[in-house]
Amino acid sequence: MTTSIIGYPRIGANRELKFATERFFRKELTEAELQAVAAQQRQLNWQGQAAAGIDFIPSNDFSFYDTTLDTAFALNIVPQRYQDLAISPLERYFAAARGHQSEAGDVKALAMKKWFNTNYHYMVPEFDDDTRLRLDLTKLLSEYREALALGIRTKPVLLGPYTLLKLIRFTGQTGIADVQADFVALYAEIFAQLAAEKITWLQLDEPALVFDLSEADIALFKAIYTPLLAQKQTVKVLLQTYFGDVRDIYIELLDLAFDGIGLDFVEGRKSLELIETYGFPANKKLFAGVVNGKNIWRNNYQQTLEILAKLPKEAVVIGTSSSLQHVPYTVNAETELSPSISRHFAFAQEKVAELAALNAIFFEGAEDYLADNQALFADKRFEHNLAVQAKVNALSAADFVRSPEFSVRERIQKEAFNLPKLPTTTIGSFPQTADVRKNRLNFKRGEISKATYDSFNQEKTKEWIRWQESVGFDVLVHGEFERNDMVEYFGEKLDGYVFTKYAWVQSYGTRCVKPPIVWGDIARVQPLSVADSVYAQSLTDKLVKGMLTGPVTILNWSFPREDISLSDSTLQIALAIQEEVLDLEKNGIKVIQIDEAALREKLPLRQTDWNSEYLDWAIPAFRLVHAKVAPETQIHTHMCYSEFTDIIPAIDAMDADVISFEASRSDLSILDALQANGFRTQNGPGVYDIHSPRIPSIDEIEAVIRRILTKVPLEKVWINPDCGLKTRGVAEVTASLEHLVRATQAVRATL
């Protein structure tokens, strides 16, 4: 038993689960038919891993929406508003994930946040004073039995009690201390049910251990697991960590009665040092995460073997550094990529094969695998552009400073634009309806000309510009009908990227992204968006925003190269986007939005590393993009679904003129942080949740606006949804936005 996987992609090699689930939402598929698709995907995953020779194959890593939400439902951490809905259990689960609006009831979704330092989003469990814990392991046990019926004995995966308690949002008087003993009892019951099922191993995921831990955190962990592990019966318990190292609690972990401990040797910079300094017990298994679960590059076997050689061989299980849900399914589908490039990629299926190869080399001395891998790494990787490198090297401190300073620009722009109080706008995209997608596909296939393709998009833009004017929006957008994705679209127009066709990765629920791959130095060789923005502005006397994606988000939502630093790659992108910003300005675009939705995504999990390893270059990279624009040009940015409250000063230091935040799902919690930090930037906290199909009422939005005005000065407030509208339907978008404008007008009338 020497190879292990933490988790596997669940959306399907061709996004089968995504499409089936969305058909279920549209009532085009029955629940039984959806469950059949899910069972087929689970079977393919298990059989593929078994065929590759993986010993510890996970089960219960599958989810229809989110595994954290699955764990909450398994423990009955389900607010009463969802339990009161007269709908099926699966529909109730989806109601918590995405909201629900029907005759059965009208409820908002749970809050949604980024999963540690990834682009995956989890649903935040909500615990109120009426919550009553109760165990239901139907999902976990049924999936274990499914695999067993195929002849595959799996290790079920479950979010551990410590991390779950840290992620829960307690909404009443109840807190962690009040429910700690109940959690121990509930997880002990899990052990009992698994023992009765004769399940050998249980994987408890505890990624929260890689944060900076206080003495109280360590005491809480020990207070949970000391009595819990005394009740594990015949079940062997694997404590699985990832996304960093456990330097603050490593010694304590060794003393607890875990049967296995999973450590990350990719992002865990001190994991090897901890082993070398404190050793590892002979009576435990060391699940060594040495194959990167988050990037798409081939593993360098020689480097990995050097790590493995320093570990106690008799204890080692070779594994992934994290779940493989953060990478696409297989490189084999990318038949249009040059083999000279694709041979350097490893998606989930290939990483499983890498585990088997490393196992054969390390434990069996199979040198052929090593020789082939060394030949691969001797081959040329990545393209270099000396001119781009020279531009980055020539940057000075002055290149990152915009003048005049913020308050002067703010006065100039208010006088120039003469916008009303509480100006209304949207974040950028409008629905990508079936005809929009078909137009793009026909053009990609060569079935229509560029002129025909552009003409269609212009008609869509005209239609939505006219609609925004009729509703009464103050600052308009062109709708982005020409864009497939906010990162891939720009990457396709920049030098230095390569693109896949089927390399989809789950972002949340049924939402998938296809990150482009950085293959060389990045350069702008053509305008990226100028023509579309200029056309849209020609249709109206109102301001139309130029829409761009910022350099940090472009880099964070790409698969970055390995031979240069993230900061250098980001500065290359920043210089390219800067050229586009100045081109937009030169062509008469007066408001330019540069989205940084993923700003926090690669922020180190340990706060002590925030500045030195990330913010000290990420914030200047954004400033570089807009530092040279005129004071009359208004720079907007947008951020979503991350915890921003602890980096508010850094966000203010981006020196944008206006920022819109996701705020609705987090119950406007960011407002207190803005107020406490004296946030100077004009801002638009999202007034309704676009990731839910429900339509907010006028009264609901008006109440949100009035609440915002109790925390943010009137002259600083913009009114907008909390994110782009690309994935939503036309009917819900038009109704919701009409309500937004009417609610704003109602509030203005009382000012």
Tokens representing residue 663 in the block? 């705020």
Distance CA 462, CA 535 (A): 9
Give the helix/strand (H/E) hosting 577: helix 566-586
Contact assessment for residue 75 and residue 63, using Cβ atoms and an 8 Å cutoff: no
Beta strand extents in 67-159 (DSSP E only): 100-102, 105-107, 112-114, 121-123, 126-127, 155-159
Q: How far is CA 61 from the centre of its chain?
A: 17
Comparing C-alpha atoms, which of 238, 231, 261 is closest to residue 249? 261
Q: Residues of 4-27 as b/e, b for ≥16 C-beta within 10 angstroms?
A: bbbbbbbbbbebebbebbeebbee
Distance CA 342, CA 335 (A): 9
Comparing C-alpha atoms, which of 464, 468, 472 is closest to residue 431? 464
Contact assessment for residue 235 and residue 195, using Cβ atoms and an 8 Å cutoff: yes
Other CB atoms within a 10 A radius of the CB of residue 315 amount to: 18
In which residue are the tokens 């088997």 written? 356
The residues annotated as belonging to the active site are 691
In which residue are the tokens 């989806």 written? 94
Contact assessment for residue 239 and residue 253, using Cβ atoms and an 8 Å cutoff: yes
Contact assessment for residue 60 and residue 139, using Cβ atoms and an 8 Å cutoff: yes
Contact assessment for residue 264 and residue 243, using Cβ atoms and an 8 Å cutoff: yes
Query: Following DSSP, what letter does each residue of 338-397 receive, concatenated?
Result: -HHHHTTB--HHHHHHHHHHHHHHHHH--HHHHHHHHHHHHS--SB--HHHHHHHHT--G
Query: SS3 of 411, please?
Result: helix
Tokens representing residue 125 in the block? 């469990």
Q: What are phi and psi of 511, to 5 degrees?
A: -80, 125
Query: How many CA atoms lie within 13 Å of 613's alpha carbon, on the beta-carbon side?
Result: 12
Strand partners, 594: 548
Tell me the C-alpha to C-alpha distance, in Å, between residue 553 and each of 306, 528, 570, 596, 694. 34, 16, 9, 5, 28
Q: Give the chain's count of helices (H) and strands (E).
A: 29, 24
Q: How far is CA 355 from the centre of its chain?
A: 26
Query: SS3 of 325, please?
Result: helix
58 upstream amide cis, omega within 30 of 0: no
Tell me the C-alpha to C-alpha distance, in Å, between residue 723 and each of 107, 425, 630, 638, 665. 19, 11, 27, 8, 11
Comparing C-alpha atoms, which of 294, 410, 306, 281 is closest to residue 358? 306
Distance CA 402, CA 619 (A): 13
Burial class (CB in 10 A: 0-12, 13-18, 19+), 380: exposed
**Residues across the chain:** 751
In which residue are the tokens 């078994």 written? 50
Other CB atoms within a 10 A radius of the CB of residue 32 amount to: 7
Rg of the Cα trace of the chain?
26
State the chain's maximal CA–CA distance in angstroms. Answer: 78
